Structure 1
Amino acid sequence: MVELDGPRRGPLNGGTPDALVVLVHGLGADGDDLIDLAGVWAPAVPGAAFVAPHAPERIEGLPNGRQWFALWDRSEAQLRAGVQAGAAALGAFVAAEAERLSIPPDRVALMGFSQGAMTVLEAGLRGAVPDAACVLAYSGGMIGGDALLDEIVARPAVLLVHGEDDEVVPAAASRAAAAAMEAAGVPVRALFRPGLGHGLDDVGLAAGAQVLHGLLKGA
């Protein structure tokens, strides 16, 4: 398995990290695309370390483009296999990073955008990162949501945020994911943003900060 790496930011308070927030980028980006969210969310969790791993697979023709799983074949079987592999790679990285920083597994938060959102939902609910405190999934969805009830391993708090005008991943993907998670007993909140396309906005980021603060703010 490819060993992942990516940019990191230390705790805002300058102390020893007491939590870890893992930022998982989308298709065609890399960890540098999301690491600046550390500056946005650090005030909510001043003791947290942030890391944004680069996905394991390079995309031909894009010098800095990476992917958690390939989309050349979008059949259900291939997508399931791809997201499982991407989640496994992420899980190994998160476990190693948490151990390196001496952070308990239940003090880890996963955040993902687009393909990264699909990957963190897979990892956080189906066991690659089994004890995460929360999963924040932006502009994504869940691959294999119909099978979640039979396959779920963990039930972290989940926030879904999606633009109603998303032209890349329809908001219906997060609506279906929310329904699947509710049926499986996952504490999920879904926030749909009118007028927002495939991106992040201040309201969605504020909602993420609120979740992080509530679960990881420390003593």
Structure 2
Amino acid sequence: MSSFHFKARCDKPAALVIMFHGVGSNPKSLHKLATYLHQQCPDLEISIPIGFSESPLNPKGFHWFGIEGVTETDRLSRVMAVMAPFDQLIREQAEIADVPLDKVVLAGFSQGTIMSLEWFKQTKDRVAGIVAMAGRFAELPVNPTLTKTPVCLIHGELDEISDPVHAQQSYDALLKLGTQVELNLIADAPHRVTESMYPLVADFIQRLSSKGKL
């Protein structure tokens, strides 16, 4: 299994979108969303890297951090154990695309969302935006310095893996800190990237562009 890459249809990409798949999955799971997004925003460069380790949940799956025996108290430490290589991956992808970090959008699903939100919480640098699908913070933020990066939360109300209450909690915490954040709850969506999420992702990124953030 390899990563996927969509080249911008112009000499200089307007921005780079890096997509991070969920646990036990692989880049193919986000390929349809990336295809749609590239059709809507052809000036974007889109990259879907592969998780750091093979997952025992699926012979063709990978994860960013192991979840066997994970608890509420040790989830953050597992995330932080792989944060340095995750940070390096983001920077390498931006360098390869020749796009500055503040023109990068991180788009995660499930565990990919956890990694993206925690990177956003831990880093001193700014990206253009975060798309957080069906995921959560490993630990809710309390630092008011997060206000510079807009966040789009998308969560299915029928999600049987990641309770949509986590999206509401993330929204409330970020709103309290003054972050530009929006919450999109989809009534009939389970724990997967549904086609109803596609236009929400595209619209968020297009609005970043119209506001001069891309």
Q: Does the CA contact (< 8 Å) of 1:126 and 1:154 recur in 2?
A: no
Q: Distance in 1 between matches of 2:194 and 2:96?
A: 32
Q: Which residue of 1 aligns with 2:7?
A: 10
Alignment of 1:3-152 (within 5 A): 6-11=3-8, 13-60=9-56, 62-127=58-123, 130-145=125-140, 148-150=141-143
Q: Distance in 1 between matches of 2:139 and 2:130?
A: 17
Q: What is the deviation of 1:44? A: 3.4
Q: Which residue of 1 aligns with 2:172?
A: 179
Unmatched runs of 5 consecutive residues or more in structure 2: none
Q: What is the deviation of 1:152? A: 5.3
Tell me if 1:206 matches 2:199. Answer: yes
* Partner SS for 1:111: strand
Normalising by structure 1, we get a TM-score of 0.87
Q: Does the CA contact (< 8 Å) of 1:19 and 1:103 recur in 2?
A: yes
Q: Distance in 2 between matches of 1:59 and 1:168?
A: 17
Q: What is the deviation of 1:19? A: 1.1
Q: Does the CA contact (< 8 Å) of 1:45 and 1:216 recur in 2?
A: no
1:189 to 182, 185, 208: 182
Q: Does the CA contact (< 8 Å) of 1:18 and 1:47 recur in 2?
A: yes
Tell me if 1:168 matches 2:161. Answer: yes
Q: Distance in 2 between matches of 1:61 and 1:133?
A: 33
Q: What is the deviation of 1:14? A: 4.2
For 1:197, the aligned partner's letter is: P
Q: What is the deviation of 1:94? A: 1.3
Task: Name which of structure 1's ranges 37-46 and 204-213 shifts more when overlaid on structure 2.
Answer: 37-46
For 1:54, the aligned partner's letter is: I
Q: Would the alpha carbon gap of residues 204 and 61 (structure 1) be closer, same or farther in structure 2, given more than 3 Å must change?
A: closer
Q: Distance in 2 between matches of 1:132 and 1:116?
A: 16
Task: Name which of structure 1's ranges 62-71 and 131-140 shifts more when overlaid on structure 2.
Answer: 62-71
1:156 to 115, 128, 149: 149
Q: Would the alpha carbon gap of residues 152 and 143 (structure 1) be closer, same or farther in structure 2, given more than 3 Å must change?
A: farther
Q: What is the deviation of 1:42? A: 1.5
* Partner SS for 2:86: helix
* Partner SS for 2:66: coil
Q: What is the deviation of 1:171? A: 0.6
Q: Distance in 1 between matches of 2:135 and 2:57?
A: 24
Q: What is the deviation of 1:201? A: 2.8
Q: Distance in 2 between matches of 1:211 and 1:188?
A: 11
Normalising by structure 2, we get a TM-score of 0.89
Q: Distance in 2 between matches of 1:95 and 1:26?
A: 20
* Partner SS for 1:29: coil
Aligned alpha-carbon RMSD (Å): 2.2
